Amino acid sequence: MEPMLCPTSDPQSRDLEGDFPLDGKDLDSVTDEALIALLESAPALHDLGSTKVVRLSRHLVMKGGGSVLPCEAEMLNFVASKTGIRVPRVHRSFQVEDRTQYFRTRGYIVMDFIAGKPLDNYWPDLPYDNQKQIAMQIADMIKDMQSVVISQPGPLGGGKFRGRFFTDYSAGPFKDSAELQGWFNHKLDICKHVNQCPKDIPPFRFTTFVLTHHDISPRNLILDPNGKVWLIDWANAGAYPPVFESAALLAQQFFTDFNEAVLSVFPRFPEEELQLDSITYGLITAALA
């Protein structure tokens, strides 16, 4: 379930001394309409599918597109208030109705530009000691997240559940843990029925939901000049069982050495990881069943 296409990027978008459209301007003086236009004209940091991130100024970026939902800005604010995890600060966010999009909306989030090295470009070339130190930072982030227990599962503020374990079409929304558990057990039943997983895999039973990023990968990490790691792209984040974080790392096809380094330094849930792996057929081939 990794993306098959690679994002494009304008090399000038990471210039620390560049000339950007909102340099020297007060963000409050810029209209939503002007920001929407800048999504097409400003230098692109990331452009893939229905999501684009552009450089607005030396200090600001904007993420926009049909997959940018209100829950992402809510989650960034929540993480900043409840944890010590380094995330971009949100300066402004808004939605525009667009019935041509899958979620019937286009979202826009203006946030801090994080100066540093995107780890997907640099991870293989880092010395082993640096890789280990980064893995420890990420493990500490996950432990911090898992200390935040949330009673209602799913994205903050409600809406469709997205991420590796909800198919490429999303799922729900689910009103409570019982509905969520029922959906997962339906996927498990499908896989058992067509002999795509062992018959003795036990049913899902969700008891605790914690803050979960759900997509930790070098492509979503930035190493700043002080050696500190910043975690970006919280689109799939929400309140999910603790196993979701390690199971998502296990399922990633790329950067396997990164996945192993992180998995080796934080608590694991082997039985629950096996459960989630067992419904792969139901999430891909039988995604709409």
CATH code assigned at 209: 3.90.1200.10
How many structural domains compose the chain?
Answer: 2
Q: Domain check: are 33 and 168 in the same one?
A: no
Domain boundary among 97, 113, 129: 113
Distance CA 84, CA 53 (A): 24
Establish if 17 belongs to a structural domain. no
Query: What pLDDT shows up at residue 2?
Result: 43
Kindly state whether residue 14 falls inside one of the protein's structural domains: no
Q: Are 178 and 259 contained in the same domain?
A: yes
Give the amino acid at 258: F
Contacts 24+ apart (CB under 8 A), 281-285: 281/190, 281/191, 281/194, 281/196, 281/197, 282/186, 282/187, 282/188, 282/190, 282/191, 282/196, 283/1, 283/164, 283/165, 283/166, 283/167, 283/187, 284/1, 284/167
Phi, psi dihedral angles at 26 (to 5 degrees):
-80, 120
Cα separations (Å) of 78 from 81, 90, 210, 211, 277? 5, 11, 13, 10, 29
Asked if residue 213 and residue 91 are part of one domain, the reply reads no
* Segments in the chain below pLDDT 70: 1-5
Asked whether residue 67 falls in the same domain as residue 83, the answer is: yes
Question: Domain for residue 11, yes or no?
Answer: no
User: How far is Cα 109 from Cα 63, in angstroms, rounded to an integer?
Assistant: 5
Dist CA 192 CA 256 (whole Å): 28
Mark whether 103 and 128 lie in a shared domain: no
List the domain range (segments joined by +) for residue 66: 27-113
CA distance 38 to 42: 5
Q: Residues of 69-93 as b/e, b for ≥16 C-beta within 10 angstroms?
A: bbbbbbbbebbeeebebbbbebbbb
Same domain, 98 and 161: no
Contacts of 197-206 with CB under 8 Å at 24 or more apart are: 197/278, 197/279, 197/281, 198/278, 201/274, 201/275, 201/278, 202/271, 202/275, 204/275, 205/181, 206/153, 206/177, 206/180, 206/181, 206/241
State whether 196 and 133 are in the same domain. Answer: yes
CATH number at residue 57: 3.30.200.20
Q: Which two tokens stand for residue 125?
A: 């070339």
In a domain, 138, yes or no: yes
What is the DSSP code string of 222-274?
Answer: EE-TTS-EEE---TT-EEE-THHHHHHHHH--S-HHHHHHHHTTS---HHHHH
Query: Is residue 94 located within the same domain as residue 123?
Result: no
Indicate whether 126 and 40 sit together in one domain.
no
* Residue 122 and residue 106 in one domain: no
Instruction: Give the pLDDT confidence score for residue 129 in this predicted structure.
Output: 96
Residues 104 and 132 in one domain: no
Statement to judge: residues 66 and 137 lie in one domain = no
Residue 71 lies in a domain: yes
Last residue of a domain, one of 80, 113, 146: 113
Q: Provide the pLDDT for residue 3.
A: 43
Q: 0.75 exceeded by the pTM?
A: yes
Measured distance CA(11)–CA(44) in Å, rounded:
8
Which of 113, 136, 168 is at the close of a domain? 113
